[in-house]
Amino acid sequence: MEGILPLWKERGMTSHDCVFKLRKILKTKKIGHTGTLDPDVDGVLPICIGRATKVVEYMMETGKAYVGEITIGFSTTTEDKSGEVVDSLPVTEVPSNDAIDQMMQDMTGNIIQIPPMYSAIKVNGRKLYEYARAGEEVERPKREVAVHRFVRTSEPVMNNEQQTVSWTFEVDCGKGTYVRTLAVDFGEKLGYPAHMSDLTRVKSGTFSVKDCLTLDQVAELMQEEMIEDRLYPLEYALGDMDTKEMTEELWEKVKNGAVLPIETFSKEVSFPVVLMYQGRARSIYGEHPTKPDLLKPIKVLRTSA
C-alpha cells in the first residue's frame, strides 16, 4: 500500500494516536503523519503510507489554513482552553471591530514568534512540553513564521459572567506557525491576557475538508477493499517543485543513484528537481554541496516500477 490519505482528525486524539490506529486498520507499519495537531484541535491531517512516507518532510513545508476563536480576558499555561489559568484581567468594554481588524492586519507577513512551552519544539535535546510538565523553565528560541491572512469572521461577543470577549477568525499561514501563540500575542497587543478557545484545521497543503476521511470511514473502505481508490499518489506532495521527465538512458543512471552533470538540465529548471519516469516521481535531485557543476540525489523515491 502506498499513497497519501487525507484524514479528518477528531478531537480528543493526538496525531500519534491516529497513526497507531491506522497501522491496525490498514495492517501496515509504514505510516507517518505530516504535522502535529493538538488533542483539542480537529481537522485535516494528511497521512503518508508506504513509500509516500519519504515525502513527509515536503508535506510539512506546505501552508495551512485554520478557523478558530480568540478569547481575551485570561491566558492559560497551554495557550488554549485546556490549560490552567495563569493570568486574568476582566474585560469591561468590547474592543471595536476597527481596532481588532487593524491589529490582526498588523500581525500578517513575516513575524517573530516564541513557541509555547507546551509544544514539541526541542531545546537541548528535550521537547519543551517535557520541561513544562516537570515545572522547569527554559529559554525558548524565537522563530520567524509567515502569516498570509488573519481576519475576524464574527462580531466580538461579551461573556458577562466570565468578563471575557470572544470572536472567530480565519488564518492562512506557513509551516511552524503556532496559532495558539497568535491568539496570545494578539491579546498582548490589545492589553489583555488571551488564549485560543477553539481551532480547526481546514486545509493542509493541497488537501481540504472535502478530501478527508474519518477513521471509521477508512475502516469501512478497508473492509470493502476500496481504500486504495481513496489514496492520493505521493506526487501530490511535490507540486511546488520543478519536474523533469527522464529518458530511459537517464533513468538507468538515476535508479543507481548516479551523480549528474548540472548541464543535464536546461537553465529553466530550478533545483531541487523531481525526476519522473513513465509519469511517476523517481528521485529528487539537488545541487552538490561541494561540487557546483554536479547534482546529487537528495531523496530516492522509487527504484522500480
Quote the CA–CA distance of 102 and 178 in Å, as a whole number: 20
Are 118 and 129 within 8 A, CB to CB?
A: yes
With contact defined as beta carbons under 8 Å apart, do 171 and 147 qualify? yes
Question: Residue 206's closest CA among 14, 40, 44?
Answer: 44
DSSP readout, 60-99? HTS-EEEEEEEEESEEETTSBTTSPEEEE----SPPPHHH
Q: Which amino acid is at 110?
A: N
Cα torsion 125, 127, 132, 137 to 10°: value is: 40
In what helix (H) or strand (E) does residue 297 lie, and over which residues does it extend? strand 294-300
The phi and psi torsions of 236 (rounded to 5 degrees) equal -60, -25
- How far apart CA 304 and CA 92 sit, in angstroms, is 67
Helix, strand, coil percentages in the chain from 3-state DSSP, rounded to 5: 25, 35, 40
Catalytic residue selected from 17, 38, 42, 87: 38
- DSSP one-letter code for 145: E
Annotated catalytic residue 38: yes
Sequence-ordered list of residues with C-beta below 8 angstroms from that of 262, at least 6 positions apart, any chain:
287, 292, 293, 294, 295
User: Which of the residues are catalytic?
Assistant: 38
